[in-house]
Amino acid sequence: MSGSQHEDSLAERRWLNALAKGDPTALGGLYELYGEKIFRYTFRMLGNRSDAEDATAETFLRVLRRSAELRADGAFRTWLFRIARNLCIDKMRQHRLLELPTDAHYTGTEDRATLRVTVQQALSELPIEYRDPLVLCDLEDVSAKEAAEILQISVPALKSRLYRGRRALRDRLGGSIEKLT
Amino acid sequence: MNEFYNKLVDLYAGGELTEELSDEMEAEALKNGALAQDMFTLRKTVEALQSLPSPDLTEESDYRILLKMQIQGTEVRRKSPESSHWQYHLLIQS
């Protein structure tokens, strides 16, 4: 565990204890600690800022509503991501019903800058079982073990989805990826 | 390509092979066009994915998130305007 992770772990424990005691600053402390991570994750999953803001706010509201279930045993971060993930899935279902667009737009131009947009678009079109491990492991640098815990699957299953997801992403990118040198 | 090579390519693309094994894969790819294509495109895919810029939690987004919580009856606010870390207050409105 790095120094920064250790400090975060201590801070997490302190804020969870504070939350359990009804300290009015506790949720703010947890938001300070994890708000940006949850925002980044939800943005990557949902592809637009507005929905990511909604999902982030709701994630922390649920922490407060379900604070009786909390344990300061290191599983909080996993639990938090799980809440955020479930909210993202709900949002995605709504999008499918309403066909809302994402912030990313594919222009068809094949230079490096637009390739990023293409990759983001292709990622957002992947099935959730592939998008999840790619976002967690390749983009958010979550370990395979923790990602597996968040997704409630085994590490081998996580790896299998990660590898299939990368191949599915490549298939969606088609010729765009081959033009990169 | 057989399942064994597929697994190796997956590990190669994710940078999970040792340097020695990666070198062996690359040497093998020189003799096998299909393998080379698989390795090259998959590794480029992972690199392109990992090069995506990280979404910023801008001040505006931060403000809107806190506002959304407030609208739901939970206010998380800073103690003083100049503060940044560790200084949020939570007010639970009944």
Question: What one-character-per-residue DSSP string does B29-87 give?
Answer: HTT-HHHHHHHHHHHHHHHHHHTSPPPP--HHHHHHHHHHHHHTTEEEEESSTT--SS-
Residues in chain A closer than 8 A to B44 (CB atoms): 177-178, 180
The C-alpha of A98 sits at a distance from chain B's nearest C-alpha, in angstroms, of 22
pLDDT of the residue at A112: 67
pLDDT, tens only, A84-102: 999 999 998 887 655 555 5
Asked whether the predicted pLDDT for residue A149 surpasses 50, the reply is yes
Alpha-carbon distance of B78 to A50, in angstroms, equals 22
* pTM across the whole model: 0.81
Domain A106-181, CATH among 1.10.150.300, 1.10.3720.10, 3.40.50.920, 1.10.10.10: 1.10.10.10
- pLDDT the model gives residue B94: 43
Chain B residues within 8 Å of chain A (Cβ atoms): 10, 13-14, 40-42, 44-55, 57, 61-62, 64-66, 68-69, 72, 74, 76-77, 85-92
User: Which positions in chain B touch A24 (Cβ < 8 Å)?
Assistant: 89-92
Q: State the average pLDDT over residues A43-67.
A: 92
Q: Which residue has the tokens 């990602």?
A: A147
Q: Residue A13's CB: how many other CB atoms inside 10 A?
A: 14
Question: Is pLDDT at A181 greater than 70 in this prediction?
Answer: no
Q: For chain A, what percent of residues have pLDDT higher than 90?
A: 50
- Fold of the domain built from segment(s) A1-100: Rna Polymerase Sigma Factor; Chain: A (1.10.1740)
Instruction: Say if CB B36 and CB B29 are below 8 A apart.
Output: yes
Cβ contact B48–A180 (<8 Å): yes
Domain ranges of chain A: 1-100, 106-181
Residue A107 pLDDT: 44
Q: Where are the alpha helices (DSSP H) in A47-142?
A: 49-65, 76-98, 112-125, 128-133
**What whole-number distance in Å separates Cα of residue A34 and Cα of residue A38?**
6
ipTM, 2 decimals? 0.79
- From first to last of its 94 residues, chain B has per-residue pLDDT tens of 688 889 999 999 999 999 999 999 999 999 999 999 999 999 999 999 998 988 999 999 999 999 998 888 776 754 444 444 545 555 554 4
> Would the pLDDT of A108 be above 60?
no
Number of Cβ within 10 Å of residue A155's Cβ equals 14
Provide, as residue numbers in chain B, all residues whose Cβ is less than 8 Å from the Cβ of A123: 49, 52
